[in-house]
């Protein structure tokens, strides 16, 4: 059965010292819980990966990078490869975030390469998809999301596709305080799962965790996660403080 996952995306926040403090505080808060009903992932900037992995030492918390190179290794100044990320002990990599697509020109074709490299290095891609506001307003959200999935992921074998975590993040809801309604989230997640059924069959589709992202917070997480096809969240702003992140984890 698929996992429930709450993954934080710190984006470009936290100095080394601030990151260590946040990881420590989260560890303390999680140790306080008798039971945590989801896997917790921390998506940190590269500089935190080694420390976060070392500090956590708890299998229920995974560490994610927020990007990886689309090349194996070599003369690509400033890039960090999937193999380098895996060598830190991080288990996940967030790929295709809308900020990477918008500000750094990442295309489905580049992302396809990144996914292959991530999987080849044993990393679980948390692959982000989602429409912009104009696409939602012109009712094109399903076409857009389907094409993002098809173009970047549908060349994978069923075995490899089964290792992916998807994150539906309507771009108009990211960092805006405007959340998709619970019904909008469920409708899109069900559509995504149906798209996977059509390509890989029901067994594969039922095993894929599909997270919701976009202004998810303590007040809306429970309702969003109660949907049958919403298997957790990718959390930006609210993952930067323990008091905001823990209630989302506790929403399961
Ligand atoms: C994100 O960065 O993936 C995100 C969902 O951000 P926020 O929760 O701040 O909207």
The yes-or-no verdict on residue 177 having pLDDT over 90 is no
| pLDDT reported for residue 83 | 98
| ipTM score of complex | 0.97
Q: Which pLDDT value is given to residue 31?
A: 87
Nearest residue (by CA) to ligand 1, atom 4, is 236
- Cα(226) to ligand 1 centroid in Å equals 19
- Residues annotated within the binding site are 9-11, 175, 215, 236-237
What are the tens digits of pLDDT across the range 74-124?
999 999 999 999 999 999 999 999 999 999 999 999 999 999 999 999 999
- CATH code matching the domain that covers 5-250, chosen among 3.20.19.10, 3.90.230.10, 3.90.380.10, 3.20.20.70: 3.20.20.70
CA–CA distance, 163 with 160 (Å, rounded to integer):
5
Residues involved in catalysis:
97, 169
Task: Measure 238 CA to ligand 1 centroid, in angstroms.
Answer: 8
DSSP 134-187: HHHHTT-HHHHHHHHHHHHHTTS-HHHHTT-EEEE--GGGTTTS-PPPHHHHHH
Whether this prediction's pTM lies above 0.95 is answered by yes
Token pair for 84: 């380098």
Residue minimizing CA distance to atom 7 of ligand 1: 236
pLDDT of residue 59: 61
Residues making up the binding site for substrate = 9-11, 175, 215, 236-237
CB within 6 Å of ligand 1 — which residues? 9, 11, 169, 174-175, 213-216, 234-238
Measured between alpha carbons, how far is residue 92 from residues 10, 53, 224 in Å?
Answer: 14, 11, 23
> Residue 46, class by beta-carbon neighbours within 10 Å (0-12 exposed, 13-18 middle, 19+ buried)?
middle
Per-residue pLDDT, averaged over 140-145, amounts to 98
Stretch 7-26: mean pLDDT, rounded? 97
Is the model's pLDDT at 58 over the cut of 70? no
pLDDT of residue 35: 87
Specify the ligand 1 atom closest to the Cα of 99.
2
Q: Hey, whose CA ends up nearest to atom 2 of ligand 1?
A: 236
Contact of 123 with 231, CB cutoff 8 Å: no
Q: Is the pLDDT of residue 211 over 90?
A: yes
pLDDT on residue 178: 84
pLDDT of 214 reads 95
**Which pLDDT value is given to residue 34?**
82
**pLDDT tier, 175 (very low <50, low <70, confident <90, very high otherwise):** confident
Q: How sure is the predictor about 132, in pLDDT bands with cuts at 50, 70 and 90?
A: very high
């Amino acid at each position: 059965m698929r996992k429930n996952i709450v993954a934080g995306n710190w984006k470009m926040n936290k100095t080394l010292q601030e990151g260590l403090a946040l990881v420590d505080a989260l560890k303390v808060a999680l140790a306080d819980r008798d039971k945590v009903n989801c896997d917790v992932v921390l998506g940190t900037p590269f500089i935190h990966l080694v420390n976060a992995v070392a500090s956590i030492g708890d299998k229920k918390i995974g560490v994610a990078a927020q990007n990886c190179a689309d090349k194996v290794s070599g003369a690509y100044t400033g890039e960090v490869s999937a193999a380098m990320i895996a060598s830190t002990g991080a288990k996940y990599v967030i790929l295709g975030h809308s900020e990477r697509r918008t500000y750094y020109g990442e295309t489905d074709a580049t992302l396809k390469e990144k996914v292959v490299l991530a999987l080849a290095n044993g990393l679980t891609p948390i692959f982000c998809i989602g429409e912009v506001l104009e696409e939602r307003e012109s009712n094109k959200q399903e076409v857009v999301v389907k094409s993002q999935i098809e173009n970047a992921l549908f060349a994978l074998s069923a075995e490899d596709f089964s290792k992916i975590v998807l994150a539906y993040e309507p771009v108009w809801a990211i960092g805006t305080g405007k959340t998709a309604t619970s019904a909008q989230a469920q409708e899109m997640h069900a559509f995504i799962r149906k798209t996977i059924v059509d390509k890989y069959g029901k067994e594969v589709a039922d095993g894929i965790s599909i997270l919701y992202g976009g202004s998810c917070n303590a007040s809306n997480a429970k309702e969003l996660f109660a949907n049958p096809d919403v298997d957790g969240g990718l959390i930006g702003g609210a993952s930067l403080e323990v008091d905001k992140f823990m209630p989302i984890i506790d929403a399961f």
